[in-house]
Amino acid sequence: MEELNLFIRSIFIDNMIFAYFLGMCSFLAVSKNVKTALGLGVAVTFMLVVSLPINYMLNTYVLQPGALAWLGEDFANVDLSFLALIMFIAVIASMTQLVEMAVEKFSPSLYASLGIFLPLIAVNCAILGASLFMQQKDFGSALTATVYGAGSGIGWLIAIVGIAAIREKLAYSNVPKPLRGIGITFILTGLMGIAFMSFLGIKL
């Protein structure tokens, strides 16, 4: 039950895009049509689901103060938490390489349309951000961390597909010249964010 609550919360209330603005760069750049947006969204969700449990294990058994106690008495006082950033990013970067190879093999058309943004998932703030939030929130088990990853990923997916659908329709409207392209996208994201705030206070 607690997991379900976390899942719903991370999709709608703590949404990566609307509440924390994580992963905005690719969000803005790859949201020109729904198909590509969906592809990137799925890739990000997958990355989150894979990298969060690994980073959780890493954090619990290696990095936290006293986490190395399982190695013996001498290691009980070791605090490696300052290394967290570099370890997390290393896990994420290598996982990205894996996803990239898989996408290239199974869906060359998606690979071509994602272009530069596939390797850049490694520097997508949503993924590192989720790992850092996971560290901050002190989840009880790897399962909870995975659920959090899945929820955040699906929230990101909903956001990017939504904005891509709006931008496709936007091609037919008369936007003031200086606002065309990126400006109006910012305003739309803001309005969507306000809409998403109506989910605030939902509890299961």
Partner 1 sequence: MVSKKISEVFFNPFSKNNPVIVQVLGICSVLAVTAKLEPAIVMGISVTAVLAFANVIISLIRNTIPTNIRIIVQLVVVAALVIIVDQVLKAYNYEVSKALSVFIGLIITNCILMGRLEAFALSNGPWDSFLDGVGNGLGYAIILVIVGFFRELLGSGTLFGFQVIPQAFYDLGYQNNGLMILPPMALITVACIIWVHRSRNKDLQEK
Q: Which of 189, 194, 193 is nearest to 170 (CA)?
A: 189
Binding string, residues 55-94; x marks residues near partner 1 by CB under 8 A: ---------------------------xxxxx--xx--x-
CA 31 from centre of chain:
15
Q: How many of the chain's residues bind partner 1 (CB under 8 A)?
A: 48
Residues found in the chain: 204
Binding string, residues 111-130; x marks residues near partner 1 by CB under 8 A: --------xx-xxxx-xxx-
Q: Between 71 and 102, whose beta carbon lies closer to partner 1? A: 102
Q: Between 72 and 176, whose beta carbon lies closer to partner 1? A: 176
Distance CA(55)–CA(92), nearest Å, equals 9
Q: Between 35 and 137, whose beta carbon lies closer to partner 1? A: 137
> For 138-170, b where at least 16 C-beta lie within 10 A, e where not — what string?
ebeeeebbbbbbbbbbbbbbbbbbbbbebbeee
The residue behind tokens 């990205």 is 96
Binding site for partner 1 (CB under 8 A): 18-25, 28-29, 82-86, 89-90, 93, 119-120, 122-125, 127-129, 132-133, 136, 176-184, 186-187, 189-194, 197
